[in-house]
Amino acid sequence: MKLVEPIIAFQSELQQIRRDLHAHPELCYEEQRTSDVVAAKLTEWGIPVIRGLGVTGVVGIVKNGHSSRAIGLRADMDALPMQEINSFDHASRHPGKMHACGHDGHTAMLLGAAHHLATHRNFDGTVYLIFQPAEEGGAGARRMIDDGLFTQCPMDAVYGMHNWPGIATGSFGVVEGPMMASSNEFHVVVKGKGCHAAQPHRGIDPVMVAVQIAQSWQTIVSREKNPLETAVLSITQIHAGSATNVIPDEAVLSGTVRTFSTDVLDLLQTRMQDIATHTAAAFNATVDFTFKRNYPPLINHPRETAFAVEAMKAVVGAERVDTNTEPTMGAEDFAFMLQAKPGCYVFIGNGEGDHREGGHGLGPCQLHNASYDFNDNLLPIGASFWVRLAEMSLPLA
């Protein structure tokens, strides 16, 4: 492993920053303290700062030389609305809020890279350090773009990184093409006619219509979608009725759809609505169909992925870089940035949880788990990757 030596020496300060952020989690678009910490550190290190993109977003600008080339490096800052069960010293001090996805670590790693790039400037061009709010459901990436991120900060490519439990510490994973799925949700209200449960012939039972719709929807995945394509249609909620002897007026179905392709998503949305509408009509019921597209699929660009792989190899060696990492049906709003600019999103291994100190909860060290904690051993590894990526992307003449 060939980590950047000054970053290794800076690890203790990065750990302090990371644990401070972990102890003070903030939810999407509320990251005021976090963005203040980030902006203060960047300013202390002589890095000009843009604030306010995406409400609480921060962008640091490190320039050197005369080249017009530029890249963006992105870290997310927000926490999750969940209760932490860890009791170590840096556990959350805000009930109902927790850094359970490692965004505290992502922020600290990019700050580590920022410090080194500003101090040594071994590159020719511009590095934009993007500290993004509201990844957890708030589409902060899209908001930063809408607020002018790529017009105020013109860049040739953009890169993102996320820690990944289960991948060994000191290893990276990436795949060209689809790496994370689109995230979409549906809510369907089946409207029937309520009546006494002992006299079903006097009403229109929305529960039975909902059951028919739920079963029929699964044939879209199994019989209408190309079997070589990937899709998940999960009905996660069915709500109806309030008494055992009453057939209700309405039944509600809700859930999520995940795909790696917009074409497949179009198919599922269209056919779900068709089936729901016509199935209800066959039973003299009606439906209100709502389908919300949250995040698009995350698609890594070939050239930038190959480039990121070379930067990973330069840091941890080829044997620790998996270029055929299994894609996940989880979603990530960095997908919006990859729709606007070429780039790549990579996983950095967070290990199996052995790094956690005494006082961690009984659960696994998995993302969105109440006993999760970021692995501080990653800090110099991730920061070194960002530095090598910037230096290789913007080489000195």
Residues 307-333 have pLDDT tens digits of 999 999 999 999 999 999 999 999 999
319 and 263 fall within a common domain: no
278 and 189 fall within a common domain: yes
pLDDT band at residue 295 using 50, 70 and 90 as cut-offs: very high
- b/e burial code for range 273-294 (CB count within 10 A of at least 16 → b): bebbeebbeebebbbebebeee
Integer-rounded Cα radius of gyration of the chain = 24
Domain end among 260, 295, 330 = 295
Cα separation, 299 vs 33, in Å, equals: 32
Domain end among 295, 310, 336 = 295
pLDDT band at residue 337 using 50, 70 and 90 as cut-offs: very high
89 and 229 fall within a common domain: no
69 and 214 fall within a common domain: no
Specify which residues 231 forms β-bridges with. 259
**134: phi then psi, degrees, rounded to nearest 5:** 55, 45
Compute the average pLDDT of residues 347-367.
92
Domain end among 295, 318, 343 = 295
pLDDT exceeds cutoff 90 at 357:
no
Show the domain range for 280: 183-295
127 and 9 fall within a common domain: yes
280 and 302 fall within a common domain: no
Positive or negative torsion for Cα 88, 93, 96, 101:
negative
pLDDT exceeds cutoff 90 at 108:
yes
**CATH code at position 275:** 3.30.70.360
Mean pLDDT of the chain: 97
Count of the separate structural domains present in the chain: 2
pLDDT per position as a tens digit, 181-236: 999 999 999 999 999 999 999 999 999 999 999 999 999 999 999 999 999 999 99
236 and 137 fall within a common domain: no
Cα separation, 221 vs 218, in Å, equals: 6
221 and 263 fall within a common domain: yes
240 and 203 fall within a common domain: yes
281 and 367 fall within a common domain: no
47 and 166 fall within a common domain: yes
pLDDT band at residue 363 using 50, 70 and 90 as cut-offs: confident
90 and 201 fall within a common domain: no
Q: Which residues contact 78 (CB under 8 A, 6 or more apart)?
A: 26, 27, 28, 29, 30, 31, 34, 103, 133, 134, 135, 136, 138, 140
Cα separation, 238 vs 230, in Å, equals: 24
Contact 81, 11 (CB under 8 A): no
Cα separation, 328 vs 300, in Å, equals: 13
3-state DSSP: the chain helix, strand, coil percent, rounded to 5?
A: 35, 25, 40
Percent share of the chain, pLDDT over 90: 97
